[in-house]
Amino acid sequence: MNRFLKKKGVAIITALGICFVLLALGTVLMINSYAHMGIAMKYHYDTEALNIAEGGVHWAIYQLEQHSRLHEIPATQTFEEYLGHGKFIATIHNNISSSTATSAEARAIPPYSIMILSTGTVRAGEKEYKKTVEALVNYQLIPYTVSSEGTIKMNIGEGESLAPGESVTPVESGDPPASDLESFTAVISSIDGFTGNLHSNYSGEPTYRCTLDPSRYVHLQVDGGTLSSSGKVGIEAENKINSNGGHAVSDASPKRFLKVDYKTLYNKANSKSPCVSLDDKVPSLAEFLGEMRNNNGELQGRVKIAGVKMWVDIEHVILFGNCLPKGMKWEPGTGTLVIEENRNYKWDGKLNLKGINIRVEGTKSSGLFVTGNITSDNTEIIGNSFSLVSNKDITLTNASLNITSSDTTDGIAVYANNLTMTTKKDKVPAGGNRFKGIVYTEDGKVDLTNQYKGNIDNFMILEGLIINNKSDSTDQSSTGLKVKNKGGSDFKIELKYNPYVAKSMIDYTNGSVHLQPVYWQID
């Protein structure tokens, strides 16, 4: 009996022990469940608060776009609305018209941007859940470093072999012998916060074409950008793009590019600073023929007097003195035509410059608008902001460019039907050739050839945008961007995306308001 009672006691103790263990386990599971439930509830309400905060950003953008002009947007504005199970408070800080950075609420606001701070709040019982979204928006930007209706070719010369599957030679009339070309490096980059993308609407094959010859190989470096084509990207270019950090995309849909014309550019410049004719001070008895040269330090212009063509010293015309238009002066020691900032000049006809450098003093944009062809030989252009605009073609032979404007100023802008440029063989500016702004060809190509053979600063940086349009009668295969290297094999060209320079062609302040987010951070 005692043994039986002992066994029952052990069983009761064991059962109670198991019950206590199960109770403890149940308690732990219940606590854990409550904890998970709390986490789930916090995640749920945090997510809802975040969605409301992001809704506040989009609501603010929508409200801003109801303004008919950018300049109508106030310096600061707050929107407060209920949304879903909570509400948002969205505040804008406007820096859209400024070329310099500013700050608000301990946050930096870049130039040409609007900062939107939106806080979403959700209440659940006694608790309040908040999420804040910081967004930077600016006017809709041109998304491509190169926007081309034609082809993009690098180091193609006479004697180039056909690529596999290629039926039409990529060589064009005027291309140099392939034996004249050397290897070089092409870099597709961008200013901070963006990637450099290229697109061609050319529907043929191939759109992007690099040489197949290893002796003049093109080293292509793409920092995460996309090179898309409405046709086919060349095999060798596709391999180089995909293996060097980029993305090659064939058969992409055609894109609509920025459209602008000579008259629009001229009128915009003329409204800011009236364009003065180059022959403004030329006496009526003489007809300026649109030719200027540096004759051993003396600035001369070609004129016609009584039917006779002759060269005259522009600064010392007999009886009339200095006939340079207002805002220009001549430096004989450097052979430089110095232009004051915020001065615009025009010429109705062709213009030829020989051995004449151009330097713009100051930071405000100046420009030269010519209805005919612009040709120059042995010219260096130096300045912070300058526009070279032709209603026909621009040809710069033995040229060097040193445009060193900041990341957000207009820089140099070139407009022409076709642009052809070759660099100097024996000289390059300190820091390499730098060319900043929009290069826009209306009906042809951008054709760049490096000739420099030195071993210092042998590179060219084109920062901004290259836009190539065409008329309906233009053959796409003969338009686009061409880069060739006839200089040293250490040459490097960098196509650096900077969408802000588009304001040198587009007056965003007068157009309807279209904004896009360029930065998004959640706190």
Does 280 share its domain with 421? yes
Give a yes or no: residue 498 inside a domain.
yes
Q: The tokens of 521 are what?
A: 């951070």
- DSSP 8-class letter at 213: -
Does 413 share its domain with 472? no
Does 13 share its domain with 158? no
Q: The tokens of 403 are what?
A: 């445009």
Query: What is the reported pLDDT for 289?
Result: 96
Cα–Cα distance measured from residue 157 to residue 308, given in angstroms and rounded to the nearest whole number: 44
Q: How many residues does the chain have?
A: 523
Torsion over CA of 402, 406, 410 and 416, rounded to 10 degrees?
30
Q: CA 163, 168, 169, 175 torsion: positive or negative?
A: negative
Domain boundary among 123, 139, 155: 139
Does 150 share its domain with 252? yes
Q: Which helix (H) or strand (E) holds 268?
A: helix 262-272
Domain boundary among 92, 112, 139: 139
Give a yes or no: residue 434 inside a domain.
no
What is the amino acid identity at position 412? I
Cα–Cα distance measured from residue 76 to residue 253, given in angstroms and rounded to the nearest whole number: 40
Query: What is the reported pLDDT for 29?
Result: 67
> Residue 177, preceding bond cis, omega within 30 degrees?
no
The tens digit of pLDDT for each residue in 241-278 reads 888 888 999 999 988 888 888 998 899 889 989 999 99
Among 379-388, 410-419, 464-473, where is mean pLDDT lowest?
464-473
Sort strands 336-340 and 328-331 into parallel, antiparallel or unpaired: antiparallel
In this model, does residue 408 exceed pLDDT 60?
Answer: no
Does 194 share its domain with 75? no
Query: What is the reported pLDDT for 81?
Result: 93
Q: Which of 358, 352, 441, 430 is nearest to 397 (CA)?
A: 352
In this model, does residue 431 exceed pLDDT 80?
Answer: yes
Give a yes or no: residue 519 inside a domain.
no
Does 294 share its domain with 423? yes
Give a yes or no: residue 421 inside a domain.
yes
Give a yes or no: residue 127 inside a domain.
yes
Q: How many domains does the chain have?
A: 3
Does 128 share its domain with 150? no
Sort strands 366-370 and 344-347 into parallel, antiparallel or unpaired: parallel
Average predicted confidence (pLDDT) for the chain: 87
Does 71 share its domain with 205? no
Is residue 116 within 8 Å of 90, Cβ to Cβ?
Answer: yes
The tens digit of pLDDT for each residue in 307-345 reads 999 999 999 887 788 999 999 999 999 999 999 999 999
Give a yes or no: residue 435 inside a domain.
no
Does 25 share its domain with 106? yes
Query: Residue for token digits 């836009």?
Result: 467
What pTM does this model have? 0.78
| Enclosing domain of residue 53 | 2-139
- Give Cβ neighbours of residue 202 (< 8 Å, ≥ 6 apart): 148, 149, 150, 151, 229, 230, 231, 476, 477, 480
What is the amino acid identity at position 94? N
Does 421 share its domain with 288? yes
Does 257 share its domain with 271? no
Give a yes or no: residue 356 inside a domain.
yes
Give a yes or no: residue 522 inside a domain.
no
Among 59-68, 116-125, 231-240, 398-407, where is mean pLDDT lowest?
398-407
Which has the higher per-residue pLDDT, 246 or 407? 246
In this model, does residue 13 exceed pLDDT 80?
Answer: no
Does 133 share its domain with 7? yes
Which has the higher per-residue pLDDT, 407 or 74? 74
Q: CA 54, 72, 412, 358 torsion: positive or negative?
A: negative
Domain boundary among 404, 427, 450: 427
